[in-house]
């Protein structure tokens, strides 16, 4: 006959059962916290926002989503929160203090460790063997060209939403074409060349900032846009000396004598000039009310109208523009689109600054590019209309299928043809000689403007120089514009910092390099060899 279990045996069995149950619960909990989602105060799922690739007009990649993960932790399962904070901070380059504060805050069951971690960082985290870690799949925008075209392309935020440049301006198209491609108007071959020449000119003349634009005058497509200083969009932060501002689109400047292009266009359009051979007195200064208009350089006693533009005479230009008067000048600039913010796919834009009281003095100064501030992109667009047959274009950063998107006439075609001849004359016989490129028939205009300073006064000896070039000028295809903010003369320029010495040569180098890439034929006569047939 079997004996009944003693009380001690019963207690041993009960204890064993309880221990087994406890170990089972611990095991289930470990599986739960390491492999399954928490049931208490769960973190809502974040939707992954997919974006299409951005490419240049030839298919070169500008921006693409890369697979990354966000890392979260449930600190209530850590045995040692301080050690966990230390290990995770080392693996992910996160702030250890922030992590420990989050781990010790009972109000937050989930703590964000790091966003957009790469596969190698994920591997480091997994090797730590910590419980309670969760990875959430996402995307990180990558920019293979780095700084090149950074302000134009723009960046996204940690949630993959565009916050600047075309990433923001083309947000709808990029989202709608997720998994596909959105082709921009940018030609990275042209972009590299423009960026190189702008950077070289900025360094040579120690300018504070510099920028440039290349535009198709028939479609309004922007093939290249540079703003220096720039930044690295992959870092998602601005380092010392860098800038995310696109000075070509979102800053306004008094551009100086390149504005004379618009003044002469208005004079030819309205027939206020008897002819381009009409002679004007120049002298040493022109009194207008209590102000005196001066020249930037020494001028002869008289100049024909064509030479007023070629030599960039302020006094001669003031006499010509005053024939039109304030009302007509304002109406004409409005017609050309200068007196409103330019619209394109770029979200960065700026309203122009111009006189509220537009009288005779303001008419004269605006006529030679002082007292009115506009975004360079706005001026380039208006001046492109001057040479493209006089028809309206809208700047665009999307690749266009049509090769001619010119709209309504804003000036007569014969006015446009006359202006082409004048701009060519500026390069062959005037201040733009250093912009000439044999065989490419360049036309253009220099601009050297005083720089406004505090209290409404101009900074002594400070200039903002630029050059607007068009080629081939008698059958225009492209414009190239370069601006230098406060350049300094060098020994090679004899100390001169005017546009003819600083910006014009840079534009020439750009044209010389990009024209063959863009299929513009060189019409220069062949070089004769010494002793060869005549």
Give yes or no: residues 113 and 242 share one domain: no
Local confidence band at 237 (pLDDT 50, 70, 90 cut-offs): confident
Q: What are phi and psi of 320, to 5 degrees?
A: -70, -45
**Contact criterion met (CB below 8 Å) for 59 and 164:** no
Higher-pLDDT residue of 68 and 503 is: 503
**Contact criterion met (CB below 8 Å) for 471 and 481:** no
Q: Which residues of 84-123 are buried (b: 16+ CB within 10 A; e: fewer)?
A: bbebbbebbebeeeebbebbeeeeebbbbbbbbbeeebbe
What lies within 8 Å, CB to CB, of 164 at 6+ separation is 151, 154, 155, 244, 347, 348
Of the three residues 184, 218, 251, the one that is the final residue of a domain is 184
Give the separation between CA 33 and CA 30, rounded to whole angstroms: 5
- Dump pLDDT digits (tens) for 359-415: 999 999 999 999 999 999 999 999 999 999 999 999 999 999 999 999 999 999 999
Q: What are phi and psi of 230, to 5 degrees?
A: -120, -155
Question: Which residues are 454's β-sheet partners?
Answer: none
Asked whether residue 120 is assigned to any structural domain, the reply reads: yes
Of the three residues 184, 199, 221, the one that is the final residue of a domain is 184
Give yes or no: residues 200 and 283 share one domain: yes
Give yes or no: residues 174 and 229 share one domain: no
Report the chain's C-alpha Rg in angstroms: 33
Would you say residue 501 has pLDDT above 80? Answer: yes
Predicted confidence at residue 27, as pLDDT, reads: 54
Question: Which residues are 260's β-sheet partners?
Answer: none
Q: Show the domain range for 292.
A: 190-517
Given its phi and psi angles, is residue 165 left (phi above 0), alpha (psi -120 to 50 degrees) or beta? left
Tell me the average pLDDT across 44-52. 68
Asked whether residue 42 is assigned to any structural domain, the reply reads: no
Would you say residue 529 has pLDDT above 80? Answer: no
Predicted confidence at residue 11, as pLDDT, reads: 60
How many helices (DSSP H) and strands (DSSP E) are in the chain?
16, 14
Query: Which CATH number do you get for residue 224?
Result: 3.40.710.10
Give the separation between CA 65 and CA 51, rounded to whole angstroms: 7
The question of whether 257 is a catalytic residue gets the answer yes
Would you say residue 40 has pLDDT above 60? Answer: no
Would you say residue 44 has pLDDT above 90? Answer: no
Give yes or no: residues 432 and 491 share one domain: yes
Give the separation between CA 495 and CA 511, rounded to whole angstroms: 25
Give yes or no: residues 140 and 221 share one domain: no
Tell me the average pLDDT across 169-176. 96
Reference 382, options 217, 152, 151; nearest CA is: 217
Higher-pLDDT residue of 190 and 458 is: 190
Query: Which CATH number do you get for residue 165?
Result: 3.90.1310.10
Asked whether residue 313 is assigned to any structural domain, the reply reads: yes
Q: How many CB atoms lie within 10 A of CB 245?
A: 17
Asked whether residue 358 is assigned to any structural domain, the reply reads: yes
Number of domains in the chain: 2
Name residue, tokens 């010389």.
512
Give the separation between CA 445 and CA 273, rounded to whole angstroms: 20
Give yes or no: residues 274 and 178 share one domain: no
Asked whether residue 210 is assigned to any structural domain, the reply reads: yes
Asked whether residue 48 is assigned to any structural domain, the reply reads: no
**Contact criterion met (CB below 8 Å) for 57 and 184:** yes
Local confidence band at 8 (pLDDT 50, 70, 90 cut-offs): low
Question: Is 216 buried (19+), middle (13-18) or exposed (0-12) by CB count in 10 A?
Answer: buried
Q: How many CB atoms lie within 10 A of CB 454?
A: 6
Give yes or no: residues 175 and 291 share one domain: no
- Dump pLDDT digits (tens) for 407-453: 999 999 999 999 999 999 999 999 999 999 999 999 999 999 999 98
Give yes or no: residues 122 and 221 share one domain: no
- Dump pLDDT digits (tens) for 312-344: 999 999 999 999 999 999 999 999 999 999 999
**Which H, E and C letters describe 209-270, residue by residue?**
EEEEEEEECCCCEEEEEEEECCCCCCCCCCCCCCCCCCCCCCCCECCHHHHHHHHHHHHHHH
The predicted model scores a pTM of 0.85
Asked whether residue 471 is assigned to any structural domain, the reply reads: yes
Asked whether residue 534 is assigned to any structural domain, the reply reads: no
Give the separation between CA 9 and CA 97, rounded to whole angstroms: 53
Q: Dihedral through CA 312, CA 318, CA 321, CA 326, nearest 10?
A: 140
Give yes or no: residues 295 and 372 share one domain: yes
Question: Which residues are 463's β-sheet partners?
Answer: 450
Give yes or no: residues 261 and 122 share one domain: no
**Contact criterion met (CB below 8 Å) for 262 and 331:** no
Among 94, 164, 185, 257, the one annotated catalytic: 257
Beta strands of 396-530 (E only): which ranges? 443-452, 458-471, 478-485
- Dump pLDDT digits (tens) for 257-290: 999 999 999 999 999 999 999 999 998 889 998 8
**Contact criterion met (CB below 8 Å) for 212 and 248:** yes
Give yes or no: residues 216 and 155 share one domain: no
Of the three residues 127, 149, 184, the one that is the final residue of a domain is 184
Q: What are the percentages of helix, strand and coil residues in the chain, rounded to 5?
A: 35, 20, 45
Q: Specify the pairing of strand 291-293 against strand 286-288.
A: antiparallel
Give the separation between CA 423 and CA 420, rounded to whole angstroms: 5
Q: Widest CA span of the chain, in angstroms?
A: 141
Give yes or no: residues 458 and 489 share one domain: yes
Reference 181, options 17, 309, 54; nearest CA is: 54
Name residue, tokens 């289930």.
28
Would you say residue 251 has pLDDT above 70? Answer: yes
Would you say residue 31 has pLDDT above 50? Answer: no
Whole-Å CA distances, 1 to 4, 290: 9, 133
């Amino acid at each position: 006959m079997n004996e009944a279990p003693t009380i001690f045996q019963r207690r041993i069995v009960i204890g064993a059962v309880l221990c087994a149950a406890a170990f089972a619960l611990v095991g289930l909990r470990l599986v739960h916290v390491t492999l399954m989602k928490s049931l208490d105060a769960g973190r809502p799922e974040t939707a992954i926002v997919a974006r299409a690739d951005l490419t240049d007009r030839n298919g070169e990649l500008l921006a693409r989503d890369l697979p990354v993960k966000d890392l979260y932790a449930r600190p209530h399962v850590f045995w040692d929160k301080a050690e966990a904070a230390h290990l995770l901070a080392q693996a992910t380059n996160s702030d250890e203090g922030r992590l420990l504060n989050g781990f010790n805050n009972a109000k937050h069951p989930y703590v964000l460790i790091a966003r957009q971690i790469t596969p190698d960082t994920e591997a480091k985290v997994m090797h730590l063997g910590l419980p309670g870690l969760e990875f959430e799949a996402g995307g990180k925008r990558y920019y293979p060209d780095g700084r090149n075209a950074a302000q134009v392309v723009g960046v996204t935020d940690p949630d993959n939403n565009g916050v600047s440049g075309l990433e923001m301006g083309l947000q709808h198209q990029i989202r709608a074409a997720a998994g596909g491609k959105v082709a921009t108007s940018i030609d990275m071959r042209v972009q590299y060349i423009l960026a190189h020449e702008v950077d070289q000119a900025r360094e040579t003349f120690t300018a504070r900032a510099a920028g440039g634009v290349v535009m198709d005058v028939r479609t309004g497509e922007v093939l290249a846009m540079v703003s220096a200083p720039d930044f690295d969009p992959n870092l998602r932060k601005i380092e010392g000396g860098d800038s995310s501002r696109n000075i070509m689109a979102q800053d306004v400047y008094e551009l100086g004598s390149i504005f004379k292009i618009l003044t002469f266009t208005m004079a030819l359009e309205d027939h206020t000039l008897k002819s381009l051979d009409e002679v004007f007195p120049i002298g040493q200064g022109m009194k207008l009310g209590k102000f005196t208009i001066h020249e930037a350089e020494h001028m002869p006693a008289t100049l024909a109208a064509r030479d007023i533009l070629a030599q960039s005479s302020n006094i001669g230009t003031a006499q010509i523009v005053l024939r039109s008067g304030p009302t007509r000048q304002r109406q004409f600039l409005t017609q050309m689109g200068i007196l409103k913010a330019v619209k394109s796919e770029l979200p960065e834009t700026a309203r122009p600054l111009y006189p509220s009281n537009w009288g005779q003095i303001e008419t004269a100064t605006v006529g030679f590019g002082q007292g009115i501030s506009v975004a360079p992109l706005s001026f380039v667009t208006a001046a492109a209309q001057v040479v493209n047959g006089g028809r309206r274009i809208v700047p665009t950063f999307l690749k266009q299928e049509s090769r001619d998107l010119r709209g309504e006439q804003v000036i007569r075609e014969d006015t446009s043809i006359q202006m082409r001849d004048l701009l060519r004359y500026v390069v062959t016989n005037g201040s733009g000689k250093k912009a000439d490129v044999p065989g490419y028939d360049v036309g253009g205009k220099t601009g050297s403007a005083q720089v406004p300073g505090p209290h409404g006064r101009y900074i002594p000896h400070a200039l903002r120089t630029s050059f607007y070039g068009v080629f081939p000028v008698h059958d225009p295809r492209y414009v190239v514009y370069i601006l230098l903010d406060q350049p300094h003369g060098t020994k090679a320029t004899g100390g001169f910092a005017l546009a003819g010495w600083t910006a014009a040569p840079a534009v020439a180098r750009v044209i010389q390099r990009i024209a063959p890439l863009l299929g513009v034929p060189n019409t220069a006569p062949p070089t004769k060899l010494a002793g060869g047939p005549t």
